[in-house]
């Protein structure tokens, strides 16, 4: 009998052969180990030059064409050297942590190319370059899913070539398997050195400014979106990311000197303004996504009838000129100013002011109206997790928060797939009709959000203006229906910012807009309509910042103005515009800064909500 038969008869199993996957894995590992021994010198060169390669690929992806990248390299060689230096710090740290060159290269390569692709799409989408703080914009799968609807995602041949080239290099390094194996005790100090150097460059102002100065990295303060874009052109993607992170960290909100309850309450200098009327009107704020009047950009010589209906509503309203804190994106900045009656400037112009809130139940316009017995509702026809609205705004005190999935009226989409302004109008009217108590509503629309490419063979501006006409029709219907109810009502309508337009034939380029003359893009018309007599002397005649509008509505409606908002309104006399685009960096209003800090980051000493004994 054979040996196998003897084993079977004795109850023993034949030796189990490894499966195909395991055999393939072993062959690959043997191949990698042979390569490691065979190509020691070339592997070392490839492994340690990888940061130079991945920096070039990430920047080349931004420039698109080799000639443009070559010009940047020639014109800004010291910035490229800075990029290489910082890339080596990251790479060295990763090598020490992973103890594998291929693993370090993979982490850095995937990260750099992902950032490069995200930057490419983000700038094409809204005209603002990617910063690390943008990672706080949305949370959750639904937010990420809906972000795709914002983007001009265009897969081009250069993009595919550069991404595939980076992937091919990572595969090559993995198969070549450059050798690096050190015991932990020999990796700890180098890892700490790389980490410390990187942190100091980003976080320590003295070190940052010295290093940036040596490598000629532009550190000019960004006063507006256009100057930020000019900084990007000088620094490239990687230098821009590092420098703007340093800028943000160096500009963090700090506690005001002598921040105490006594000092804060002493800043509230004005007496309450008694109610000028017994009327308790409905108060409706409509913040219209990207609604802007392009006729104000005189260099365009725009001739259009898209604003005909809007002008008709303006004729029966009070029209104000308003400075808004943002352009092209970051809707929550204008939204914050309207909800809190406080300036984003006092929060160091953070792009996500709602995420600065450190007060469990911050006092704001919602708590003010709740205190008067109003029903309060927030309406936004989009995913609730975007900008963290569902969790953060729930602390404001709204009786209802109505996002797209909670609409109680039939939802109709506009041609671009966003919920129409007509639907938002229906939802506001439904709230007015179903509530016996006076109502405070803030509605942030979505209809006119970019992209503006959903009508084939049509210029972006024409697609945009089509949406403006539709929004104006919805606004006029809202006013008409509110008139029919007979209930005293006032409406504030304002666009949050000018739209982003980043495709071919960019209208801002055509208008010659740059960092020196872009002020007009930070001004918006705001109209206040009412079906009862307003106290018109409360309405400003000069340009004012957006945060003044909602306290102004309180006074104009004849509602009681508490000492806090009376003090805010008092600042309008000296600083009618407290919006950074229009001001010098050192021009500060200490009262507004203190009161904003108190209600957002501090202890809310000035708050309107009742305090418990433990507080």
> What pLDDT digit, counting tens, does each position of 287-316 carry?
999 999 999 998 888 889 999 999 999 999
> What does the pLDDT average to over 438-461?
93
> Rounded distance, CA 296 to CA 125, Å?
23
295 DSSP assignment: G
1 has pLDDT over 50:
no
pLDDT of residue 444: 98
**276 and 372 Cβ atoms separated by less than 8 Å:** no
**323 and 224 Cβ atoms separated by less than 8 Å:** no
- Cβ-defined contacts of 143-151 (< 8 Å, 24+): 143/383, 143/385, 143/386, 145/383, 146/382, 146/383, 146/386, 149/417, 149/418, 150/125, 150/126, 150/449, 150/450, 150/451, 151/121, 151/122, 151/124, 151/125, 151/451
pLDDT of residue 455: 93
- C-alpha distance from residue 599 to each of 65, 361, 393, 441, 606 (Å): 49, 9, 14, 21, 7
Among 411, 422, 477, 420, which Cα is nearest to 447's?
Answer: 420
pLDDT of residue 25: 87
- Strands, E, within 193-325: which ranges? 282-288, 318-323
505 has pLDDT over 70:
no
pLDDT of residue 4: 46
375 DSSP assignment: E
pLDDT of residue 248: 87
Among 419, 401, 421, which Cα is nearest to 291's?
Answer: 421
> Rounded distance, CA 191 to CA 59, Å?
26
The b/e string for 21-56 (b: 16+ C-beta within 10 A; e otherwise) is eeeeeeeeeeeeeebeeebeeebeebbbebbebbbb
How confident is the model over 360-404, as pLDDT tens digits? Answer: 999 999 999 999 999 999 999 999 998 899 999 999 999 999 999
CA atoms within 13 A on the CB side of 454: 18
Which helix or strand (DSSP H or E) is residue 401 part of? strand 400-403
Is the pTM above the cut of 0.75?
yes
Domains defined along the chain, listed by start: 23-249 (no CATH), 261-600 (3.40.720.10)
Among 538, 540, 482, which Cα is nearest to 319's?
Answer: 540
> What does the pLDDT average to over 158-165?
94
- Could you tell me the pLDDT band of residue 7, with boundaries at 50, 70 and 90? very low
Residue that the structure tokens 């007009």 belong to: 520
> Rounded distance, CA 375 to CA 435, Å?
8
pLDDT of residue 250: 85
Among 93, 87, 135, 94, which Cα is nearest to 112's?
Answer: 87
- C-alpha distance from residue 249 to each of 95, 133, 236, 403, 602 (Å): 27, 10, 20, 33, 19
324 DSSP assignment: -
**585 and 557 Cβ atoms separated by less than 8 Å:** no
How confident is the model over 73-121, as pLDDT tens digits? Answer: 999 999 999 999 999 999 999 999 999 999 999 999 999 999 999 888 8
> Rounded distance, CA 236 to CA 73, Å?
10
269 has pLDDT over 60:
yes
**154 and 372 Cβ atoms separated by less than 8 Å:** no
- Could you tell me the pLDDT band of residue 257, with boundaries at 50, 70 and 90? confident
């Amino acid at each position: 009998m054979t040996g196998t038969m003897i084993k079977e008869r004795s109850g023993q199993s034949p030796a189990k052969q490894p499966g195909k996957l395991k055999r393939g894995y072993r062959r690959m590992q043997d191949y990698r180990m042979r390569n490691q021994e065979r190509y020691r010198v070339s592997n070392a060169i490839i492994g340690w030059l990888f940061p130079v390669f991945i920096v070039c690929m990430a920047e080349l992806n931004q420039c698109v064409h080799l000639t443009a990248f070559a010009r940047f390299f020639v014109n800004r060689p010291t910035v490229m050297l800075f990029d290489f230096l910082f890339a080596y710090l990251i790479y060295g740290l990763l090598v020490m942590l992973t103890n594998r060159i291929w693993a370090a290269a993979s982490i850095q390569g995937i990260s750099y190319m992902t950032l490069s692709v995200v930057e490419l799409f983000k700038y094409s989408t809204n005209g603002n370059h990617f910063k690390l703080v943008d990672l706080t914009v949305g949370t959750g799968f639904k937010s990420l899913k809906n972000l795709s609807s914002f983007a001009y995602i265009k897969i081009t041949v250069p993009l595919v070539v550069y991404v595939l080239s980076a992937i091919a290099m990572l595969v090559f390094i993995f198969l070549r398997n450059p050798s690096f194996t050190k015991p932990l005790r020999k990796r700890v100090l180098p890892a700490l050195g790389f980490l410390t150097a990187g942190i100091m460059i980003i976080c320590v102002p003295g070190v940052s400014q010295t290093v940036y100065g040596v490598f000629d990295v532009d550190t000019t303060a960004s006063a507006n979106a256009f100057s930020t874009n000019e900084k990007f052109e000088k620094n490239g993607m990687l230098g821009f990311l590092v420098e703007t992170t340093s800028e943000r960290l160096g500009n963090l909100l700090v506690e005001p000197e002598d921040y105490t309850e006594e000092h804060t309450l002493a800043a509230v200098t004005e007496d309450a303004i008694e109610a000028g009327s017994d009327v308790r009107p409905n108060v409706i704020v409509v913040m219209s996504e990207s609604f802007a009047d392009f006729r104000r950009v005189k260099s365009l010589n725009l001739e259009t009838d898209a604003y005909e209906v809007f002008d008709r509503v303006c004729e029966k309203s009070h029209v104000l000129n308003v400075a808004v804190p943002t352009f092209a994106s970051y809707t929550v900045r204008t939204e914050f100013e309207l909800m809190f009656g406080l300036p984003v400037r006092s929060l160091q112009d953070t792009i996500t002011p709602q995420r600065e809130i450190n007060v469990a139940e911050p006092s704001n316009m919602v708590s003010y109206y709740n205190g008067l017995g109003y029903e309060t509702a927030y309406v936004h026809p989009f995913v609730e997790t975007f900008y963290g609205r569902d969790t953060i705004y729930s602390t404001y005190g709204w009786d209802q928060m109505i996002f797209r999935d909670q609409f109680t009226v039939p939802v109709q989409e506009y041609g671009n797939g966003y919920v129409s302004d007509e639907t938002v109008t229906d939802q506001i009217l439904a709230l007015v009709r179903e509530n016996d108590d006076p109502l405070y509503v803030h509605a942030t629309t979505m209809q006119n959000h970019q992209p503006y490419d959903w009508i084939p063979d049509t210029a972006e501006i024409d697609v945009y203006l089509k949406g403006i006409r539709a929004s104006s029709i919805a606004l006029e219907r809202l006013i008409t229906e509110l008139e029919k109810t007979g209930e005293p009502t006032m409406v504030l309508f304002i666009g949050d910012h000018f739209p982003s337009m980043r495709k071919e034939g960019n209208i801002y380029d055509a208008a010659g807009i740059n960092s020196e003359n872009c002020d007009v893009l930070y001004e918006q018309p705001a109209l206040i309509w009412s079906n009862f007599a307003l106290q018109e002397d409360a309405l400003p005649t000069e340009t004012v910042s957006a945060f003044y509008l909602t306290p102004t509505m309180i006074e104009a409606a004849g509602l009681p103005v508490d000492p806090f908002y009376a003090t805010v309104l008092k600042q309008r006399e000296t600083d009618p515009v407290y919006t950074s685009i229009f001001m010098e960096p050192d021009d500060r209003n200490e009262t507004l800064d203190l009161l904003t800090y108190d209600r957002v980051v501090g202890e809310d000493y000035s708050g309107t909500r009742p305090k418990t004994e433990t507080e």
